Amino acid sequence: MEYVKTYTVKEEHIDVQNIMDGLYYPFYLEYCRHDYIREALGFDFEAEARAGNNMVLSEYRIRFVRSLRSGDTFQVTCSPLRDKTNKAVLHFRQTILLNNKVVVKAVFSGTCVRATGGRPFLPEELVLKLADAPEWDGEL
């Protein structure tokens, strides 16, 4: 179930050390994750928000292994993971790879909440689509 997108570092994301500023890595992870959620899972963020259902992050962990530089073309991966406690949480294991070497490892966790309030939930269609996804073991 791994989803992969390719990006190129933008010059405006480079800091004074001539490497990509740490602030931008989560953005590339988000671009890939959102595309995966929309394209592979069929969850339309805009339509769901208009219907009063918002997908939100509840937590994330990132480990930086090496840096990207201006003009680097890199891949971002995204794989879904179920929560082993069956809470209304989805986890996404993600990596940034440069020349097949790990740059960043991350896990992003999220859920859905109604705009009117109430308990977090996962839409049944997402639960069904991810029934065969592995459980998250808590590791990056």
List pLDDT tens digits, range 75-105. 999 999 999 987 899 999 999 999 999 999 9
Please check whether residue 15 lies inside any domain of the structure.
Answer: yes
Give the tokens for residue 3: 């989803």
Please check whether residue 14 lies inside any domain of the structure.
Answer: yes
Please check whether residue 138 lies inside any domain of the structure.
Answer: no
> Looking at residue 17, what is its pLDDT?
95
Please check whether residue 136 lies inside any domain of the structure.
Answer: no
Place of tokens 């459980």: 135
- Alpha carbon distance 61, 76 (integer Å): 16
Give the tokens for residue 85: 């406690």
Number of domains in the chain: 1
Mention every residue, 6+ apart, whose C-beta is less than 8 A from residue 96: 25, 28, 29, 68, 74, 75, 76, 102, 103, 104
Please check whether residue 140 lies inside any domain of the structure.
Answer: no
> Looking at residue 87, what is its pLDDT?
85
Predicted structure pTM score:
0.94
**The domain containing residue 45 runs over which residues?**
3-129
